[in-house]
């Protein structure tokens, strides 16, 4: 069945054949709904993505009347976006499911005849469920599978083999502490060096890797004698450097009691900036060191070193950041990256996605703002 009648786009001009013609379908409890504006925010790992949708109150499917909004207890929203081959006759099978999630807040304005829906992806089901059971005899992957089944989600899980009780014992975790299922999953993912996130109706629990098979290129070209303005395959570009983190960084973890040796110990991880003497008119590294110290009892030296390495990487990943406002696409995901080219500076490098805000409406079409980060190309991490 075609859902084209649920799209506000009705452009039949000849030039539309050459123009981008994005389409979107919003389902409210599997009921197609007319929409006016859509915003979808894709965040980092360990966090819930969220959405905001504005619908007209009138002209909807007869089921979506004012009484429906006033009395229905639960709303599950699915938002599909894409570029169908026939933009005037399409269904959900022609688009990509960008987000599926339960509605957290509903606002109805009967005077302007609008309905506003806001919510998170299905990560919210784990976030909103508290537990005191830590499953010490289960592995991390088994716990992830148990939680997913309880909430009706499918799974994409790489098996782990260490009973999680060993993590609790080594780090003095209180077994009786009330926590959320999501906090427990994030804690376990951190121990395994895994990413955990929900996409559509699937819980992912896998080793930390980024998908670099389809890197999105941002192409900049400086002004030329024949073209006085720079060119860019987007509408806005911002490049940022943290002058604090551009100093050398040192992370030290102190272990008051090493469970293997019975003595105090410490480990260190550091990043240094390579000499830039080969670059003309570029100041040398300052030589200053930004120091971070942590006390983590109950770890082995190997576990502490892994923690130090991870903390250092998280810190230095914020050294260089990029923001861009570009035409919307469904390619970029939270485990993806963008490549900036054309500035002929150290800014030309790979940036890992930090946030994607996709917006689609009639006046502006389908656009998105992206924020990405990476450490400087002249940074070296040493252990």
Q: What is the pLDDT of residues 280-332, one digit of tens each?
A: 444 455 567 778 888 877 777 888 888 888 888 777 666 788 999 999 999 89
With beta carbons less than 8 A apart as the criterion, state whether 147 and 179 touch.
no
Do 101 and 160 fall into the same domain?
no
DSSP β-ladder status, 365-374 and 320-327: antiparallel
CA–CA distance, 152 with 241 (Å, rounded to integer): 43
Do 221 and 337 fall into the same domain?
yes
Phi, psi of 322 (to 5 degrees): -135, 140
Provide the pLDDT confidence category of residue 3 given band limits of 50, 70 and 90.
very low
Calculated CA dihedral for residues 354, 359, 365, 370, nearest 10 degrees: -10
Do 272 and 343 fall into the same domain?
no
Do 303 and 254 fall into the same domain?
yes
pLDDT beyond 60 at 18: no
Pick from 258, 290, 313: which residue ends a domain?
A: 313
Q: Give the containing element (helix H, strand E) for 325.
A: strand 320-327
Per-residue model confidence (pLDDT) at position 14: 38
Per-residue model confidence (pLDDT) at position 365: 92
Do 238 and 359 fall into the same domain?
yes
Average pLDDT rounded to a whole number, residues 268-277: 67
Q: Please give the residue that has the higher pLDDT: either 299 or 66.
A: 66
Q: Give the containing element (helix H, strand E) for 236.
A: strand 236-241
Per-residue model confidence (pLDDT) at position 294: 84
Pick from 313, 332, 355: which residue ends a domain?
A: 313
216-263 pLDDT per residue, tens: 999 999 998 888 889 999 999 999 987 665 668 888 888 887 667 777
Per-residue model confidence (pLDDT) at position 265: 85
Do 52 and 108 fall into the same domain?
yes
Do 23 and 113 fall into the same domain?
yes
CATH code, domain with 231: 2.30.300.10
Average pLDDT rounded to a whole number, residues 43-65: 93
pLDDT beyond 80 at 139: yes
pTM above 0.85, yes or no: no
Per-residue model confidence (pLDDT) at position 16: 39
Per-residue model confidence (pLDDT) at position 193: 87
The domain of 167 spans: 125-207
Encoding tokens for residue 137? Answer: 């005899």
Per-residue model confidence (pLDDT) at position 1: 34
Per-residue model confidence (pLDDT) at position 383: 52
Encoding tokens for residue 136? Answer: 């010490």
With beta carbons less than 8 A apart as the criterion, state whether 360 and 22 touch.
yes
- The sheet with strand 202-207 has its strands ordered as 154-157, 202-207, 194-199
Do 32 and 98 fall into the same domain?
yes
Mean pLDDT, rounded, of the chain: 85
Encoding tokens for residue 98? Answer: 């960008």
CATH code, domain with 194: 3.55.50
Picking from 188, 213, 214, the residue whose alpha carbon sits closest to that of residue 203 is: 188
Per-residue model confidence (pLDDT) at position 278: 40
Per-residue model confidence (pLDDT) at position 273: 62
341-368 pLDDT per residue, tens: 999 988 998 998 989 999 999 888 999 9
Do 90 and 189 fall into the same domain?
no
Per-residue model confidence (pLDDT) at position 368: 96
The residues, ordered by sequence, that sit 6+ positions from 139 with a Cβ below 8 Å of its Cβ are 159, 160, 161, 162, 163, 164
Of 29-33, 47-51, 96-100, 169-173, minimum mean pLDDT range:
169-173
pLDDT beyond 90 at 47: no
Counted domains in the chain: 4
**227: DSSP letter:** B
Neighbouring-strand partners of residue 323: 238, 371
Pick from 70, 98, 119: which residue ends a domain?
A: 119
Do 104 and 143 fall into the same domain?
no
Encoding tokens for residue 245? Answer: 């983190």
Q: Hunting for tokens 């999501």 — which residue is that?
A: 182
Average pLDDT rounded to a whole number, residues 113-131: 96
Do 115 and 202 fall into the same domain?
no
Average pLDDT rounded to a whole number, residues 124-153: 94
Average pLDDT rounded to a whole number, residues 156-182: 81
**CB neighbourhood size of 250 (10 A):** 18
Do 227 and 346 fall into the same domain?
yes
């Amino acid at each position: 069945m075609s859902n084209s009648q649920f799209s506000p786009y009705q452009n039949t001009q000849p030039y539309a054949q050459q123009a981008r013609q994005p389409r979107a379908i919003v389902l409210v409890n599997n009921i197609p709904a007319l929409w006016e504006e859509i915003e979808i925010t894709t965040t980092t790992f360990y966090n819930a993505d969220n959405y905001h949708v504005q619908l007209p109150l009138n002209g909807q499917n007869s089921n979506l009347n004012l009484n429906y909004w006033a009395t229905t207890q639960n709303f599950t929203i699915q938002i599909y976006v894409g570029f169908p081959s026939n933009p005037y006759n399409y269904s959900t099978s022609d688009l990509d499911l960008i987000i599926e999630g339960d509605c957290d807040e509903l606002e109805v304005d009967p005077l302007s005849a609008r309905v506003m829906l806001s919510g998170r992806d299905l990560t919210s089901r784990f976030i909103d469920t508290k537990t005191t059971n830590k499953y010490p005899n289960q592995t991390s992957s088994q716990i992830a599978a148990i939680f997913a089944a309880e909430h009706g989600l499918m799974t994409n899980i790489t098996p782990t083999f260490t009973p999680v009780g060993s993590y609790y014992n080594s780090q003095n975790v209180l077994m009786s502490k009330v926590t959320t299922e999501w906090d427990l999953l994030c804690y376990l993912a951190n121990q395994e060096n895994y990413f955990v996130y929900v996409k559509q109706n699937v819980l992912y629990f896998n080793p930390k890797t980024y998908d670099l098979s389809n890197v999105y290129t941002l192409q900049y070209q400086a002004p030329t004698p024949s073209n006085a303005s720079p060119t860019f395959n987007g509408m806005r570009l911002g490049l940022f450097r943290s002058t604090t983190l551009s100093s050398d960084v040192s992370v030290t973890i102190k272990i008051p009691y090493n469970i293997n040796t019975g003595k105090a110990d410490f480990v260190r991880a550091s990043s240094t900036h390579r000499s830039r003497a080969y670059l003309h008119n570029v100041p040398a590294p300052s030589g200053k060191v930004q120091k971070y110290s942590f006390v983590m009892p109950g770890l082995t030296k190997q576990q502490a070193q892994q923690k130090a390495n991870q903390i250092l990487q998280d810190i230095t990943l914020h050294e260089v950041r990029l923001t861009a406002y570009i035409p919307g696409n469904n390619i970029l995901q939270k485990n993806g990256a963008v490549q900036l080219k054309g500035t002929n500076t150290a800014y030309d490098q790979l940036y890992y996605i930090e946030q994607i805000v996709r917006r689609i409406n009639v006046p502006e079409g389908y656009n998105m703002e992206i924020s990405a980060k990476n450490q400087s190309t002249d940074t070296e991490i040493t252990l």
